[in-house]
Structure 1
């Protein structure tokens, strides 16, 4: 199991290395970082986020109420689909100066809560596929067969192992249907499935015969994430 998490708000003093520390925990996937809870609404409504790291809102909190050396970590809970309502439960507090060991211990603790207690891991996704509206009908898209997603001028093509599916759904909607630990957006126009990567180079990734360009930053991020268990 991979824990999907997001960061909301600004880092307290001493948390400059937080994202690097998170990237070193093999079963943690940082899905995004946002200034406010409103900006993160899209991800929260996918019901796939397990952990919320809550930073500060200097413009919204009186200065005397801000604890600059503390970062709360919350567990996400969701109502059963089709409801999009969610709640947060306090899980732990991170104190500056942050260390890798501190973060490892806290996420081990959270992992065990989700894995061993009655807490249901958040997901609205079917176990192995999602349904996609194409021009003429709805198609079943198996995660294991989806190689990559390509955005074209007026449509999106899903490249499967044995066929191509064309849809006018938005890329954001498609990404919301995909397990965050098995797929990654690597370019403005491409999302790739980790299991179908055949070669990762300094400036591109290969999926079969398809060559997808990468920036240095995206190549480094993909290198960290695509070997995660799924």
Structure 2
């Protein structure tokens, strides 16, 4: 299997070199390095990397957010910001580009590993699950039904965000809303096994597709912080790196 190829857009040469070394140690291939937006866009068009790491402050007329907008418009390449710029105005601009991740400097090798792993995993899922596939030929084993009052509602596995223990019940958080299941979290875990889910804590199961950030003792799905037990952290990192 070929190594994922990552392009680095960073205006400080020492930082760019350090990122490149970290990525190679993690098993990735460097698709190229640039310090300005124009050069980066030309290189990305030629190299077609699997992922781009983008600093916001760059040499030249374009900043990293401008470059990200062009990447989103012209190429099917996910990108992760690696920057020290995290003020409210900058974050508002960043959010509009819909990045695959956001790393605040100073970063660690673990920050790079987790964010890149998640970004590549999400990109691979989009590649194998076209938007129209469920509408044209839905799979019978890609979903299940839950009872909500007098209705049965179909829940697709990919739409589940996370599951939360409630004594002998489980609250299922999905993109459609919240549902209470009359099953323990252990039973739900057995049902979700092999579908891209992981029980990261005795009280939580998460869908790896929706994990946005992994920290030493927790992860984020959107703005929600979910604890990660020490015993499950190694398994989580193993799965992320595997993808």
| Larger RCO: 1 or 2 (CA < 8 Å, sep 6+) | 1
Larger C-alpha radius of gyration, 1 or 2?
2
TM-score, structure 1 as length reference: 0.41
- Structure with bigger helix share is 2
TM-score, structure 2 as length reference: 0.39
- Structure with bigger strand share is 1
